[in-house]
Amino acid sequence: MSVHADVARRRIEELLRTHEERIVRRWAEIASAPSEELKELYRALLAALEEGKNDLADVRGLLAELSRSRARAGFAPSDTARAVFGLKEAVYEIVEADTEGVEAARGFVWFSRLIDDLGLFTFETYAEARERIILDQAEQLLELSTPVVKLWEGIVAVPLVGTLDSARTQVVMEKLLQTLVETGAEHAVIDITGVPAVDTQVAQHLLKTVVAARLMGAECVISGIRPQIAHTIVTLGIEFGDIVTKASLADALAHAFKRAGIEVSGGGNARVVIRAERV
């Protein structure tokens, strides 16, 4: 740092210290924020400048807190940044009134850059906080979108809605297998009525799930295959092997009933007759 700049910087620091009361009051006016908050921030800034530190860790910490609390209170990030930039205006008025040469004006340039950095930092904090919220929500969505429902004693179903990717299939697979262990269900139905498209990758994922369930000792049926999807699967040359596929959830349920030895008798008053369970 050149001698000039050093002198200018010291002059600004001096001004900041002498006119603390006035600057904070003016700042609070411009930023329309509670002056206690700003005063704390101002003190931290002064302390950091005095120690000659350049990273301003304390100030950044306080700013991050301020930025978060203002974000929660519904302020736009530009409001917070503008409030920080308000300090420049407040200090400029002091610099303008300063009669001792050009040092203060020179120092103001340096000070202004510092404040710009801090203002941008509030933006970063805001963006980070937002990103975290989005990430959390994506995770929650993943949880929500894969329910495992019990259809009957020993029969569970997974209605899949939306596009299947590797991450989601992994969640579905784990959840389904976990449910099989917990409930002791021996029949599972994966319903893909809500899946808009099936390509080789999705089919691969489905097959893996079925094989994993089979390894654990449960039978898995895939249902809800629409005509177009059946067409696509055949065109792509995907082999489902000996895995049972059904057109609708009802067919799959009927199949599971049959396998579990449960008999449904139709007629006027439909009755469900449960025979001794064959395993």
Partner 1 sequence: MQRVPILKLGDVLIVSIQIDLEDQSVLALQEDLADAVVQHGAKGVIIDITAVEIVDSFIGRMLATIASMCGMLDAQTVVVGMRPAVAITLVELGLSLGGVRTALNLEKGVALLDHIRSATP
Under the criterion CB under 8 A, does residue 177 sit at the interface with partner 1? yes
Of the residues 61, 162, 194, 217, which one makes contact with partner 1 according to CB under 8 A: 217
Q: Which is nearer to partner 1, 75 or 152 (CB)?
A: 152
- The residue among 14, 48, 19, 272 whose CA lies nearest residue 153 is 272
Give the interface size with partner 1 as a residue count (CB under 8 A): 20
Of the residues 149, 181, 272, 274, which one makes contact with partner 1 according to CB under 8 A: 181
How far apart, in whole angstroms, are the C-alpha atoms of residue 254 and residue 244?
12
Q: Which stretch binds partner 1 (CB under 8 A): 50-58, 61-69, 211-219, 227-235?
A: 211-219
Q: Which is nearer to partner 1, 184 or 194 (CB)?
A: 184
Q: Which stretch binds partner 1 (CB under 8 A): 16-24, 35-43, 204-212, 223-231?
A: 204-212
How far apart, in whole angstroms, are the C-alpha atoms of residue 108 and residue 92?
7
DSSP per-residue codes, 147-160: --EEEETTEEEEEE
How far apart, in whole angstroms, are the C-alpha atoms of residue 193 and residue 161?
7
Under the criterion CB under 8 A, does residue 279 sit at the interface with partner 1? yes
How many CB atoms lie under 10 A from the CB of residue 33? 20
Under the criterion CB under 8 A, does residue 143 sit at the interface with partner 1? no
Under the criterion CB under 8 A, does residue 150 sit at the interface with partner 1? no
How far apart, in whole angstroms, are the C-alpha atoms of residue 206 and residue 211?
9
Under the criterion CB under 8 A, does residue 31 sit at the interface with partner 1? no
How far apart, in whole angstroms, are the C-alpha atoms of residue 114 and residue 62?
15
Helix intervals (H) in 100-165: 103-144
Q: Which residues bind partner 1 (CB under 8 A)?
A: 173-174, 177-178, 180-181, 184-186, 208, 211-218, 278-279
